[in-house]
Amino acid sequence: MAKKAPSKKKTASKKDAASDVAIIPAADVEVLLPEAADEKLVERAVKDLQGILRTTVSRGMEEIGTYLLDKFYGGSPEAYLSTSPTKHASLSLLLQRCESLDLPIRRTALSNALRVAAFSHSLPKGAAFNKLPPSHRVELVRIGDPKLVEAVASQALEDDLSVAKLRELVRKDQPKATTGRPRTPSPVRLLDACIRQLTNADTQRLAIHRTDIRALDEEDREEVKARLETLKRRIQALEKLLD
């Protein structure tokens, strides 16, 4: 009896399997990209990103300011605004650590966050001031008077004012200083300008920190010493004029 030839199972070879798949050269693939820039898409993205940035920056600034107010001043705006000469002693040490690898945040940003937090905690939660972006609130705290701040904040919300427009409005609403003296003498004005440049507005201490000096190379240090010597000579000359 003749042996049957073993039946060959139909197994798809790699070649056969591949033959069922349509291979399209990359050059022939049609990429569905817009023929021109989509301006509506860009405008929508700008608005969406602005919203994300406002939320992120606002949340971060509020958290930083509230943390500093709680840890350094017991959560009391009055303590932060007190006239005690040592009220900012710990804050001054913290500011010296700013703008470094350990604490990569600008000193002005940290100070503004604390100032805004102190002012925000002194107002009702539903205040117009608290509904504005951080950049607007930084401008408003310059006014000082809570009632006037809230009035200007309400106007800023109603008119959808930009930071530049709000800054202009704040300048107009700030009360002008009234003194019995008609003018400030030139020597006093010049000295005041020098003192302001060398003084941190928050701590009322030297604006130059130890970290600033450590960051200098040898050539820069010599330049600082030279400027300091010049400043000393100017002070000595002024003292002689006053004698």
Predicted structure pTM score: 0.52
Distances (CA, A) of 42 to 38, 46, 237: 6, 6, 62
Of residues 97 and 203, more confidence is placed in 97
**Amino acid in the structure at residue 122:** S
pLDDT for residue 88:
79
Question: What's the chain's average pLDDT?
Answer: 78
Q: What is the mean pLDDT of residues 60-89?
A: 83
Q: What percent of the chain has pLDDT over 70?
A: 77
Of residues 127 and 51, more confidence is placed in 127
pLDDT for residue 15:
46
pLDDT for residue 174:
63
Distances (CA, A) of 201 to 47, 153, 207: 35, 24, 8
Q: Are 95 and 209 in contact (CB under 8 A)?
A: yes
| Residue 240 confidence (pLDDT) above 70 | yes
pLDDT for residue 175:
56
| Residue 120 confidence (pLDDT) above 60 | yes
Q: Nearest Cα to 97, choosing from 226, 241, 215, 224?
A: 215
State how far the Cα of 200 lies from the Cα of 39, in Å rounded to an integer: 46
Q: What is the mean pLDDT of residues 55-68?
A: 83
Cβ-count burial of 123 within 10 angstroms (0-12 exposed, 13-18 middle, 19+ buried)? Answer: middle
| Residue 178 confidence (pLDDT) above 70 | no
133-170 pLDDT, tens digit each: 888 888 888 887 778 888 889 999 999 988 888 888 88
The count of C-alpha atoms lying within 13 angstroms of the C-alpha of 126, restricted to the half-sphere facing its C-beta, is 0
17-35 pLDDT, tens digit each: 444 545 555 555 455 555 6
- Highest mean pLDDT: which range of 47-51, 156-160, 213-217: 156-160
pLDDT for residue 69:
92
pLDDT for residue 187:
80
Per domain, the residue ranges of the chain are 43-175+185-207
pLDDT for residue 3:
52
